[in-house]
Chains A and B, each alone.
Chain A
Amino acid sequence: MIASEERLRKAGRVRAPDEIGWLGQMGLYLALAALTIFCLFPFAWIFCTALKTLGETFKLPPSWWPHQPTLENFVKIWTIQSFGRYFLNSLIISGVTTLLSIVLASLAGYGFSRFRLPGGRIAMVGVLAAQMFPGIVLLIPYFTLASRLQMLNTYPVLILAYTSFSLPFCVWMMKGFFDGIPTELDEAATIDGCSALGAFLRVVLPLSMPGVVATAIFSFLVAWNEFLFAVVLATRETMYVVTVGIALNIGQFRIQWNELMAGAVLATVPTIILYALLERHLVRGLSAGAVKG
């Protein structure tokens, strides 16, 4: 048990600040500034366009901050299109996909990590192989399948597709995390009377929170940002998701840039909330260590 506490305490500790000198600090801040500009510049452009009127959008030379900032584009996209409905659909589909991916992937990851399965290696490659066919050619067969099963315009058809997109990474990621946790822990739990599932749920999984969080964010974004399947498999507008709603602004004869960008900005909100909620678990090992250390 000592080993586990030790690990708990020490896992994921960052380097102490005194390890890098004054020059290093400077470099650090420069790097952070560069990172911020790199990541946020296009975002800023998107955001400002969302606040501009069409008349100002293509002004040359371009204006940075809109002269007459307006929230009209946000209102328009929310009211004229059924953006609220698309949002709800996206939330349901992405939410369930995320939960399903975490549950299935952590179980499978544990299975692959802790049990010597007949054909286990082939199965692990098989998990990856499930992703290898390009979506473009699978589109029609998958659509046909959904139509035969009377599943068009249902949430499960997209949830299952997206779960199959996110599972390969999630399974491998979780297996990697579980591999890093000493088997002595499971053994001790089993000796204490836990079943295999109990050992997994009570001991191993809580120690793998950073992995769970990473896979959660990953599977959420896979589902939230997917477009091709979403646009083809929903044959009714009531089943559209946010990415499709955004793309509806790209018309044949005109692109409604401002509404498009407003939609894109709105679409990032759930991810930001999700990340803000989960971020502390991504560094869970750190805070646990800090309290006890």
Chain B
Amino acid sequence: MATRESGLGNASASRRRFLKLGLATGAGLALPLRLRPAAAQAKTQLTYISYELTSAAAGPELKRQIAEFEKANPGITVEGIPTPLAQYTAKVEAQARAGEMPDIATVDVLWLRGWIKQGYLKDLTPYIDKAGGKNFIGQFYDSLVQLATDGGKVYALPVFAGGYVMYYNTELFKEAGLDPNKPPTNWSELLDACKKLTKKDASGNTVQWGWGIHGQNIPADVSRFLQWMYSNGCEPLSADGKTALLDQPKAIETLTFWSDLYKQGLVPPGAVQAGPGEVRSMFAQKKIAMCVGILWGLDQIFAENPAVRNATAIAPFPKQVPNAPSLFQAVYNAMSANSKQPDAAWKFLDFFSRPESGMGLYKATRYGPVRPDIFNRSDVKADAYAQVQAKVNQQLKPPPIIPQWERVSKIIGDAMQRALTGAKTPEAAFKEANAQINPILKQA
């Protein structure tokens, strides 16, 4: 019996523990109810959701500007909500549909049309009219404004943008016997350069490639492919957005040239897994000599490998047809449809559209200016990269402006990957994609 008693003794000790657990649970549930952040009383509090706040370079600069804004507007405080990019749309959309979207949100150009159609965003036209109408909105690149306009109403203000350029490594150019001041300007020069820049070591393994392909099926990589299409004078969709044009000879020619670079071994193996980050790393490590790039990717390359800083140059993307435009990436600020303090939110949007804000972002992270006047500032003029960008920006062309773009982009991405992996010929891949996209475009 002795053992049994000791057994019971253990049990009652464990019961005490058990009760403690229960109490702790209750306390744990009750406590946080009081821990909710106290809302600022007299002040207007704006909420600002952005994946840019998480960025190592842009985040601190945005926070600095927010503090400046609060200083200039003593009645307003701004709470930034940094959010990881991968879950950003899910979060904002859940909030928007529950009527809880933060007052201001960062919007990528690729989501903009869909968000306008879904009714997440507030029409900014009345505020723009009050701020000077055409005089106000005319400060920005017109193509950026067009993208944010639906039915004559403007729904967002651009924060940073830029057309795609080509990165190239001048040292590797010299080693290959190419003139570093004469980067390829058309596709045949590009192909020639790629062949010269692809090198094997003594045992026959390729150690350096001419070009780096962005082959992941993500919107950012599909956009980079569209840059190829634009440079060949073709587009994925008709101007009215109702018909897919991927079965056109020029489109198929583009996919063929692009995937042939890969099949000829001028691009590192593993392209379907290479997104912007991977390609940049390969460029930083001198595994590739050229790739599509964007102005604000440069600093990351320099951070990963400071040694390539002096060897990195940018040039307009090689054009297969004369005067081919560049596709641009753009990021906007928009006001949520459910914002209860639109006047204060407008002040915030207005503040971030000033040239000083654009300058600040450019200096901190090379985020491309959305206003042509910034390129004329003396400190920007001194920057060789900015000068190339200013030239590229003279011929910008937006990605296709339709609400269903993300869906269409995914189908194009699948076709790109099929062509790269050889699962289908470029022609078959694009014809199939064309047939899949057309019914989607017919939907209202």
Contacts and interface: CB of A to CB of B under 8 A. Distances in A.
A202 B84 contact: no
Contacts of B384: none
Given A96-B28, A202-B12, A55 B4 contact: no
Given A1-B4, A5-B3, A143-B98, A231 B84 contact: yes
Interface stretch (B222-230, B296-304, B347-355): B296-304
A147 B96 CA distance: 11
Interface stretch (B29-37, B249-257, B391-399): B29-37
A161 interface: no
Interface centre among B4, B7, B276 (most CB of A within 10 A): B7
Nearest to B366: A253
A232 B18 CA distance: 33
A95 interface: yes
A156 B285 contact: no
A247 B86 contact: yes
A237 B80 contact: yes
Contacts of B93: 140
Contacts of A201: 11, 14-15, 18
A159 B11 contact: no
Most chain A beta-carbon contacts within 10 A, residue among B1, B47, B56, B284: B56
B25 A96 contact: yes
Contacts of B7: 4-5, 8, 203, 206
A140 B28 contact: no
Contact of B29 (A96, A143, A250): A96
B82 interface: yes
A228 B87 contact: yes
Interface in B19-67: 21-22, 24-25, 28-29, 31-33, 35-37, 47, 51-52, 54-57
Contacts of A156: 29, 32-33
Contact of B285 (A59, A103, A147, A249): A59
Interface string A138-174: 0110011001000011111001000000000000000
Of A235, A249, A250, chain B has the most CB atoms within 10 Å of the CB of A235
A54 interface: yes
B25 A100 contact: yes
B300 A254 contact: yes
A154 B95 contact: no
A244 B84 contact: yes
A102 interface: yes
Contact of B84 (A205, A206, A250, A254): A250
B8 interface: yes
Contacts of B91: 231-232, 235
B281 A58 contact: yes
Contact of A253 (B18, B28, B80, B297): B297
B87 A232 contact: yes
Contacts of A139: 90, 94
Contacts of B12: 202
Contacts of B87: 227-228, 231-232, 247
A102 B4 contact: no
A155 B21 CA distance: 18
A139 B91 CA distance: 9
A232 B11 contact: no
B150 interface: no
A225 interface: no
A152 B97 CA distance: 14
B33 A253 contact: no
Interface of B: 1, 3-4, 7-8, 10-12, 14-15, 18, 21-22, 24-25, 28-29, 31-33, 35-37, 47, 51-52, 54-57, 79-87, 90-91, 93-95, 97-100, 102, 276-277, 281, 284-285, 287, 296-297, 300, 303-306
5 contacts: A55-B305, A99-B24, A155-B31, A206-B10, A251-B55
Name the 6 nearest CB pairs between A and B, nearest first.
A155-B32, A202-B11, A96-B28, A247-B84, A143-B94, A248-B54
Given A8-B7, A154-B33, 7 more contacts: A1-B4, A58-B284, A58-B304, A201-B15, A231-B87, A235-B47, A251-B51
